């Protein structure tokens, strides 16, 4: 009996080693365009940080899934009180941080209190403003009480800015991120690459990769040979430009055109003459031919939008027909507004191709109806300073990449300077509504208001052009939140 | 010689001080708020104010200048706004890429340029000269980034001999690191070599027309000795000048090549820091480059003095 066992054991061992030889590869190099300034998602708005650490290294109570849905993460379940103000989160047990220390309710309290503290430099502090108190019930239970009901609270807790950190390591996360995710931080060669390794003690389903490297390749001319030579096996957001067609026809690669949360706008300074006149803004809306703009935006991809909402979202309404392309009508509206001969204005364009190249198309379309635009290229820093901070602009083209951010139209003193009490009212109601069906209705109303007011020229949803090795499975096709979630990525056998 | 050297060093020091003032003032005028860039479009005003305070951006300009200069004097270049690590560490990491790359490119370009230049000068007007200089003319005209792309497609995509770019770090071993630098070094070196070869050739030709060369030949000295001993040494002054300029360029001006090969060098660091308004890093790198250019110039001056003894005693 003993011999038989050992023979079986030996055969099993042989089989095991045999399969190991033929097993799929377990390493991956992902190309990213921008290098993160540091690796702490709670201390910067830089998308480049979340694109490396979100869901891979750091996790929150909830998380946003590949189709934008809110799903449990470190909280395995939650209860919401009837008045919508008290959220009781049940935490997963046996979760440890990468430094070996245990994760429990105290860490949740610390993380949330840190993010909403007075001296916090969290870039999305508004996610936490609704929180009144955070209480530790027992090590596996946390009670969060809100000042008023907030329908988006669970979604907010799924942002990268709301991830859980440990008190002992929080301040060092910029250089040495310590989270609870399926990957551990390994090393960061500045200017070159960030490396992650599999977390052997992960509490959930183990990752399918042993090693993941995010390699920083800022130049399109460098990205393509890196892909073709096999040095890099995936570009979740490929700066491909004209070479995309060549890659698409190559069977070695998968090309997926997905959606991002980036509403690309011709932003209008609503507080400035002549743009404070709705007729002028309507005229601009009628003058825009979205299909032509998409064709000329540098990639040729993008879904036309008629309001500030992602077409991937279930609450989206297609409002592209509110002010259809109609140059004659645009001219008539300009005459009504007192500009029969049109006028001159400036168009400030930040560096991305969608703005610089799309801007040329927009300028030529507006010229057709008599609005002559002087194009002023600006750098990011100048854009933030002049346009965003000081409202020193007429028109600009910019993609708003934060997810679900229609509420910016309710902000006082925001850069496009829109002010409509009716819209603010809808947003206030929305904040206090938890019922999903009612929330969808409110989102629809909100979309219609800004579309009819022609607040901005709504152009197109920024595409996510993902290119990766055809053998690679599990990467996200869409980008509902700024992330490159590798937890389900593996190589085909 | 000591007086000659002391004077060169004093000029260098003054250059550094003037440069530090100019760099600091220019960067102060540049628009853009580093705190706003870090926190982005959703930032709340109080979070911004806290960050500005933390970054020390609220202090008076003169105080910040003095802080910065006195820090640099003891090797403290400050802390990067975006990367939250000391500037000197960031520079240190990048120098480990840029300096070996610059040296490799310089050695390569000098070896090629001197041999080609002397070869062509010795065969003035003959077909070999015409051909070699024709190739050099093309080399001067080719943009180095385009040449780099050709190299990448040939050696990385097609032949797969070397990586298409990136730098594994010296920790990954000396050979992988060197391997990653070969193509960038060649791409940088060839256009430089072409320029240097033309300079070498014309300097040699000028010297070869001098009376003392004819005298040396007339007294029966072998052609090769005249060429290598008498002519080359006298032709080296303009060559050294160009070499000094090229080294400064190779250290600071390789940004395009660094982008094509996505190498984490100094050029990329400074470019990235400018777009992020990480001014303290920009200032640190620029000062380092000024210092290295000053140093190279001093070395070139010393080189002149070695080649031409008359310079050692003049004034």
Structural domains of chain B in order of their starting residue, each with its CATH number = 2-73 (no CATH), 91-313 (1.10.3720.10)
Asked if the model's pLDDT at residue B312 lies above 80, the reply is no
Digit-coded pLDDT (tens) for A87-117: 999 999 999 999 999 999 999 999 999 999 9
Asked if the model's pLDDT at residue A248 lies above 80, the reply is yes
The alpha-carbon gap from A186 to the nearest alpha carbon of chain B, in Å, equals 14
Q: How confident is the model at residue B217 (pLDDT cuts 50, 70, 90)?
A: confident
Could you tell me the pTM of the whole model? 0.82
B-chain residues near A218 (CB < 8 A): 259, 262, 268
- Give the highest mean pLDDT range of A51-60, A394-403, B159-168: A51-60
Judge whether A247 is closer than 8 Å to chain B, CB to CB. no
Asked if the model's pLDDT at residue A21 lies above 70, the reply is no
Q: How confident is the model at residue B253 (pLDDT cuts 50, 70, 90)?
A: low
Q: How confident is the model at residue A8 (pLDDT cuts 50, 70, 90)?
A: very low
Asked if the model's pLDDT at residue A147 lies above 90, the reply is yes
Helix axes B87-122, B127-141, angle to 10 degrees: 160
A-chain residues near B263 (CB < 8 A): 191-192
| Nearest one of A315, A316, A314 to A304, comparing CA atoms | A316
Lowest mean pLDDT among A61-65, B49-53, B138-142: B49-53
Select the residue from B27, B30, B40, B269 to test the A interface by mutation, using most A Cβ atoms within 10 A. B40
CB contact under 8 A, B42 and A229: no
CA B244-B264-A41 angle, 5° bins: 145
pLDDT for B61: 83
Distance CA A470, CA A473 (A): 8
Q: How confident is the model at residue A58 (pLDDT cuts 50, 70, 90)?
A: very high
Distance CA B232, CA B208 (A): 9
pLDDT for A11: 44
Q: How far is CA B142 from the centre of its chain?
A: 19
Work out the percent of chain A whose per-residue pLDDT is above 70.
95
Select the residue from B29, B33, B41, B92 to test the A interface by mutation, using most A Cβ atoms within 10 A. B41
A94 CB burial (10 A radius; 0-12, 13-18, 19+): exposed
Q: How large is the ipTM?
A: 0.76
- Give the highest mean pLDDT range of A92-96, B139-143, B231-235: A92-96
* Ramachandran class of B32: left when φ > 0, alpha when ψ lies in -120 to 50, beta otherwise: left
B-chain residues near A38 (CB < 8 A): 82-84
pLDDT for A17: 43
Digit-coded pLDDT (tens) for B152-177: 999 998 998 888 888 888 888 899 99
DSSP 8-class letter at A385: I
Q: Backbone phi, then psi, for B153, in 5-degree steps?
A: -65, -35
pLDDT for A35: 86
| Nearest one of A199, A195, A217 to A208, comparing CA atoms | A199
The alpha-carbon gap from B42 to the nearest alpha carbon of chain A, in Å, equals 6
Contacts for B86 with CB less than 8 Å, ≥ 6 apart: B76, B77, B78, B79, B80
pLDDT for B183: 93
**More reliable by pLDDT, B227 or A202:** A202
**More reliable by pLDDT, A381 or B211:** B211
Q: B120 with B131: CB under 8 angstroms? A: no
DSSP 8-class letter at B157: I
- Count the residues in chain A: 493
Select the residue from A381, A382, A389, A482 to test the B interface by mutation, using most B Cβ atoms within 10 A. A381
β-partners of residue A63 are A71
Asked if the model's pLDDT at residue A20 lies above 60, the reply is no
Q: A301 with A309: CB under 8 angstroms? A: no
Asked if the model's pLDDT at residue A290 lies above 90, the reply is yes
The alpha-carbon gap from A159 to the nearest alpha carbon of chain B, in Å, equals 13
Q: How confident is the model at residue B314 (pLDDT cuts 50, 70, 90)?
A: low
């Amino acid at each position: 009996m003993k011999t038989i066992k050992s023979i079986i054991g030996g055969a099993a061992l042989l089989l095991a080693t045999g399969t190991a030889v033929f097993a799929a590869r377990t390493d991956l190099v992902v190309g990213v365009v921008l290098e993160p300034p540091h690796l702490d998602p709670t201390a910067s708005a830089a998308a480049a940080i979340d694109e490396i650490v979100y869901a891979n290294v750091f996790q929150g109570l909830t998380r946003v899934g590949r189709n934008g849905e809110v799903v449990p993460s470190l909280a395995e379940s939650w209860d919401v009180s009837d008045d919508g103000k008290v959220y009781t989160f049940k935490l997963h047990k046996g979760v440890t941080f990468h430094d070996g220390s245990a994760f429990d309710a105290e860490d949740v309290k610390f993380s949330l209190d840190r993010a909403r503290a007075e001296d916090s430099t969290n870039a999305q502090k508004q996610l936490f403003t609704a929180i009144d108190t955070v209480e530790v019930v027992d090590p596996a239970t946390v009670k969060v009480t809100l000042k008023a009901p907030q329908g988006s609270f669970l979604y907010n807790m799924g942002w990268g800015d709301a991830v859980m950190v440990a008190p002992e390591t929080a301040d060092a996360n910029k250089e040495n991120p310590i989270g609870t995710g399926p990957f551990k931080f390994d090393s960061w060669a500045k200017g070159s690459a960030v490396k992650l390794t599999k977390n052997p003690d992960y509490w959930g389903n183990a990752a399918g990769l042993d090693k993941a490297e995010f390699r920083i390749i800022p130049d399109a001319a460098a990205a393509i040979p890196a892909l073709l030579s096999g040095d890099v096996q995936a570009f979740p957001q490929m700066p491909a430009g004209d070479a995309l067609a060549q890659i698409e026809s190559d069977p070695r690669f998968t090309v997926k055109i997905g959606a991002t949360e980036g509403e690309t706008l011709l932003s209008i300074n609503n507080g400035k003459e002549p743009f404070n006149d709705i007729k002028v803004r309507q005229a601009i809306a009628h003058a825009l031919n979205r299909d032509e703009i998409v064709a000329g935006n540098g990639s040729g991809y993008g879904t036309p939008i008629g309001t500030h909402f992602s077409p991937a979202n279930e609450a989206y309404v297609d409002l592209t027909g509110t002010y259809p392309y109609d140059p004659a009508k645009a001219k008539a509206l300009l005459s009504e507004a007192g500009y029969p001969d049109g006028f001159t204005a400036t168009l400030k364009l930040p560096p991305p191709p969608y703005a610089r190249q799309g801007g040329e198309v927009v300028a030529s379309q507006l010229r057709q109806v008599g609005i002559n635009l002087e194009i002023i290229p600006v750098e990011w820093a100048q854009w933030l300073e002049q346009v965003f901070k000081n409202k020193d602009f007429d028109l600009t083209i910019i993609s708003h990449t934060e997810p679900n951010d229609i509420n910016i139209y309710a902000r006082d003193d925001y850069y496009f300077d829109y002010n409509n009490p009716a819209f603010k009212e809808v947003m206030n109601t929305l904040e206090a509504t938890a019922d999903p069906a009612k929330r969808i209705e409110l989102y629809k109303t909100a979309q219609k208001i800004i579309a009819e007011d022609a607040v901005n020229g709504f152009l197109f949803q920024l595409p996510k052009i993902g290119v990766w090795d055809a053998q690679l499975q599990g990467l996200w096709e869409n980008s509902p939140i700024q992330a490159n979630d590798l937890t389900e990525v593996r190589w085909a056998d | 010689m000591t007086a000659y050297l002391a004077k060169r060093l004093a000029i260098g020091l003054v250059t550094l001080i003037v440069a530090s003032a100019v760099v600091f003032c220019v960067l102060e005028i540049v628009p853009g708020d580093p705190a706003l860039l870090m926190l982005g479009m959703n930032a709340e005003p109080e979070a911004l104010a806290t960050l500005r305070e933390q970054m020390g951006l609220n202090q008076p300009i003169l105080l910040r200048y003095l802080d910065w200069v006195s820090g640099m004097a003891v090797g403290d270049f400050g802390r990067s706004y975006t990367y939250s690590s000391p500037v000197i560490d960031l520079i240190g990491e990048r120098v480990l890429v840029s300096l070996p790359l610059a040296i490799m490119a310089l050695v390569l370009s000098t070896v090629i340029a001197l041999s080609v230049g002397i070869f062509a000068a010795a065969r003035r007007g003959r077909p070999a000269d015409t051909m070699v200089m024709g190739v050099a003319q093309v080399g001067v005209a080719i943009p180095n980034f385009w040449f780099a792309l050709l190299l990448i497609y040939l050696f990385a995509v097609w032949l797969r001999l070397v990586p298409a770019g990136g730098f594994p770090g010296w920790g990954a071993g000396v050979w992988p690191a060197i391997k990653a630098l070969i193509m960038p070094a060649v791409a940088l070196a060839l256009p430089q070599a072409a320029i240097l070869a033309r300079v070498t050739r014309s300097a040699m030709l000028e010297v070869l027309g001098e009376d003392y060369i004819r005298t040396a030949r007339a007294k029966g000295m072998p052609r090769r000795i005249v060429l290598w001993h008498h002519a080359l040494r006298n032709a080296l002054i303009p060559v050294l000048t160009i070499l000094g300029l090229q080294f400064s360029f190779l250290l600071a001006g390789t940004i395009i090549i660094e982008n094509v090969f996505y190498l984490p060098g100094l050029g990329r660091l400074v470019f990235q820091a400018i777009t992020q308004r990480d001014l303290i890093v920009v200032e640190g790198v620029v000062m380092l480059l000024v210092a290295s250019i000053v140093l190279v110039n001093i070395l070139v001056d010393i080189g002149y003095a070695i080649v031409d003894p008359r310079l050692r005693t003049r004034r």
